[in-house]
Amino acid sequence: MSAQKTSASRTKPVSAVGAFVGFVGFSVLAGLLVTIGVTPAIAVAGVTTTSTIGVFESLPEYIEIGDLPQRNELYAYQGGKSVHFATVYDQNRQELKFDQISDQLKNAAIDGEDKRFYEHGGVDMTSLIRAGVGSLAGGLGESGGGSTLTMQLVRNIKMNQALELPTQEERLKAYNDAVEQTIPRKLEEMKLAIGLAKKYSHKEILTGYLNIAYFGDQTYGVQAAAQHYYNKSATDLTPAEAASILAIVQSPNTRNLSDPKYYDANVARRNVILKSMYAQKHLTKAEYDQAVASSPKDYVHLTEPAQGCKASVGDGSQFFCDYAVQVVKEMSQLGATQKERDTAWRNGGYKIQTTLDIDANAQQKQVLNTYDNKAETALKLGAALDSVEVNTGRILTMAQNKDYDQALQSPPTSTSINYSVDKKYGGGIGFQVGSTYKVFTLLDWLKAGHGLNETVNGTPHNTSVWQHCGETITNPWNPKNDSAGEAGNYTVARATALSVNAAFASMAAKLDLCDIKQTAEDLGVHSGDDKTELNSYPSSILGTNNIAPLTMAAAYAGIANNGTYCAPIAIDNVTNAEGKSLGGQPKACKQVLDPTVAQTAIYAMKGTISGGTAVGAQTADGTQLFGKTGTTDDADQIWLVGSSSRVATAYWQGNTDGGKNNLRHYNNGVRGTYAGARADVWRQAQTPLNALYPAGPFTDPSSSALRGNSKAVPDVTGKSAADAKAALAASGFTYVDGGAQPGVQKAGTVTSSSPAAGSLLSSGSSVTVYTSDGSQITMPAIAGATLDTARSKLNQLGFTNVTISKSYVKGGGDKECRVAAVDPGVHAAANKDSAVTLTLYGDKDGKAPEKCK
């Protein structure tokens, strides 16, 4: 329940009988207070001389001023220095100490609300009796029936306690109970006020009152009120300003200074307070005259509180702010249970140092604004850039193309969804990551002892048998390659650089699909929806899981960190309201890969940028980088995730509504298509981070790591099929008969193998062997021979279709009529019925000699 809507509640006029009962009640209470000695020195405990006192003592005695809800301040980094960038609170309040509050405010509060504040012990007898008499004329009076500042503080404490209850129903009931103006409620307020007066000094009570009171327009405490209404501190206010603020207290909804329509009501009460201040000699005649003559329009400078993540400083910082607030609320520094943490955050007063680099984030936001148009109407286009510090997991940037807006109806250029994070933190369910997921097959391949120079089949083919969690399963799958021309054998290094789907299917067929999934999970990879497990179907290796960009950035950072994964961190430090440092999110790093495995994978993915699918991503500063692109089947989701040795960056763009619009077919309005700008965008996002975090080179793997446990295919050319099979078996390979092919060798003799001799294969790999059918003849070397000699030699070899070209080559002399060239060429293999054409030398001008026949 909003305090703004209820704090001005007043009891309606009572009937004559009700008024009389009220008067009698106050009379009895007055007698009671006299009996127990409510004077400047009060003693309540242990007094039980009458039944009336017994009733009084049955009420609660103590209430704590406690921690008042305050603002929470968030800080980021700019130029290496901590800077404030957001204020987040449940109640707009900044608590002040007694000496920080203007004397004018203190005087206005006491003179206007409780003249004998320093004389009584929480309850003022004179005001109480006057209020009782006044009730005969219509209720408990405007001030709630003789309420002292101490009693008002009790009421405000109970109001704030009510607003912290977990449910709306509980908050409403407790709030209404707190503001209810009845005799029993008044008795309770007085008893608790007496307890407050015993426990706290007058200074503490006055300070608490001025810090806790509600001043309308969602503003709590005098400091927030002075900032909101005057754009100045409560430390230095004029008499008119101080009195105007205190004039709000009794009726915050009708006397606040947020709208000129409330000015007259405010001035009427303000002037009563000023008159009291003058009567108590806290104002001179001149000061009083000047104050009552002033108009609120002359001193009100309404300033909207810059509250919430929507008002955070820095272009595009709002989504990170929202994420950081949610993370803080999970931190044990705020409490052992979630309820305690929520209460602590509502109470506020925290200073939160986040990991965000405001300038780098703003630069990435500008890149996205340029290349991923937030106003695109042809499709629902989203894009995000997330950068993570490699050796800590600290989140440096979290930018996206859409603007931040938590309203139920956001404009098309804005969204409430944080594309970078999981669903539990305000994201979606993540996005299909495409071939960026192939890195986990690559890593598992290397973990299993395979090497980068090993050859695998990159031609699209069907694979039916797989290993899944230690069991053999049947699941036919025949993935296509992204480019139609991709086929043949590839080294794993080249298959990675070119992102050949069929090659990775060949790799996965030699591994366990669950091991690939586990490798991903070891690097912190999980579904964007916390209720969904990563799947481990054969197709999963090509990136069918939905994963958030921040998750992928952190995983690649773990690879760059020589296999040590650090969970993402958004909070460097938390300082509580007392100024005590509570620490930040603990650095959670774990070695999950052998460093050699990580370094070998990096070596392969450096090729993606230098000569593969991410050409154009290399930054001009020469920093060593590695990366992996990802494209879904319909090119509706486009990725590039990469890293230096210091900072990893994930770039994602795609359809946010589940659409299948191909981003290769939509122009980005700058140059080229959305998908085509992928490498350019990533390069521009990474460049400023390389300057902020200069990175050294990666460690290259050893030759043995590149080779792995693979063996070279033996040369079986010229052997019989049986001998070839035996030779391959001896090397640990499986013989596959490729059949007979036209050849000049003796029928049954091996002509070639695939992979070729010298290729590196893992043990058990298949080698296809091709043999000759003996149907071809090797063309003889007959250049320079006479025509008759050439014909005779060709006829002897079995060629029956020999012709002479009508064109001659310049010759003359002894060359005339001799063979200059033959087609097919010398040493070429040709069938016996192939046409053989002889070209002869002619005369010196290249004309046909007469003697040639």
CATH, residue 768: 3.30.10.20
**345 within domain boundaries:** no
Model pLDDT, residue 495: 97
Model pLDDT, residue 146: 66
**326 within domain boundaries:** no
Question: Based on the domain organization, do 814 and 735 belong to the same domain?
Answer: no
Q: Express as a percent the part of the chain with pLDDT over 70.
A: 89
Question: Based on the domain organization, do 81 and 131 belong to the same domain?
Answer: yes
Number of structural domains the chain divides into: 4
Tokens coding 89: 């609170």
Specify the CATH number for the domain of residue 285. Answer: 1.10.3810.10
Question: Based on the domain organization, do 695 and 726 belong to the same domain?
Answer: no
Using DSSP's 3-state secondary structure scheme, residue 454 falls into strand
Distance CA 170, CA 646 (A): 51
What domain range is 744 assigned to?
Answer: 710-774
Distance CA 665, CA 722 (A): 54
**For the whole model, what pTM was predicted?**
0.76
Question: Based on the domain organization, do 150 and 257 belong to the same domain?
Answer: yes
User: With b meaning 16 or more CB within 10 Å and e meaning fewer, what string describes 355-365?
Assistant: bbbbbbbbbbb
- Strand pairing class (351-357; 72-78): parallel
Distance CA 809, CA 821 (A): 9
Question: Based on the domain organization, do 679 and 787 belong to the same domain?
Answer: no
Model pLDDT, residue 290: 97
**692 within domain boundaries:** yes
Instruction: Please list the ranges in the chain whose pLDDT falls under 50.
Output: 1-24, 34-52, 55, 133-145
Who's near 850: CB < 8 A, 6+ residues apart? Answer: none
Last residue of a domain, one of 643, 676, 699: 699
DSSP letter, residue 361: H
Identity of residue 609: I
Tokens coding 531: 């209720």
- CB 690 within 8 Å of CB 718: no
Question: Based on the domain organization, do 765 and 789 belong to the same domain?
Answer: no
Question: Based on the domain organization, do 391 and 538 belong to the same domain?
Answer: yes
Q: What is the chain's length? A: 853
**175 within domain boundaries:** yes
Who's near 163: CB < 8 A, 6+ residues apart? Answer: 1, 3, 69, 90, 91, 171, 175
Last residue of a domain, one of 632, 665, 699: 699
Model pLDDT, residue 820: 93
Question: Based on the domain organization, do 167 and 275 belong to the same domain?
Answer: yes
Question: Based on the domain organization, do 277 and 376 belong to the same domain?
Answer: no
Distance CA 726, CA 728 (A): 5
Of the chain, the end-to-end C-alpha distance in Å amounts to: 115
Last residue of a domain, one of 733, 756, 774: 774
Model pLDDT, residue 55: 46
- CB 846 within 8 Å of CB 810: yes
Model pLDDT, residue 127: 66
**180 within domain boundaries:** yes
Model pLDDT, residue 320: 98
**347 within domain boundaries:** no
Who's near 514: CB < 8 A, 6+ residues apart? Answer: 468, 469, 470, 536
- CB 203 within 8 Å of CB 118: no
Distance CA 180, CA 187 (A): 12
Strand partners, 629: 640
Residue 80 exposed, middle or buried by CB count within 10 Å (0-12, 13-18, 19+): exposed
**Predicted confidence (pLDDT) per residue in 332-375, tens digit:** 999 999 989 988 898 888 999 999 999 999 999 999 999 999 99
Identity of residue 646: R
**561 within domain boundaries:** yes
Question: Based on the domain organization, do 670 and 731 belong to the same domain?
Answer: no
Question: Based on the domain organization, do 662 and 759 belong to the same domain?
Answer: no
**138 within domain boundaries:** yes
Using DSSP's 3-state secondary structure scheme, residue 629 falls into strand
H or E element at residue 571: strand 571-575
Question: Based on the domain organization, do 812 and 769 belong to the same domain?
Answer: no
Model pLDDT, residue 699: 96
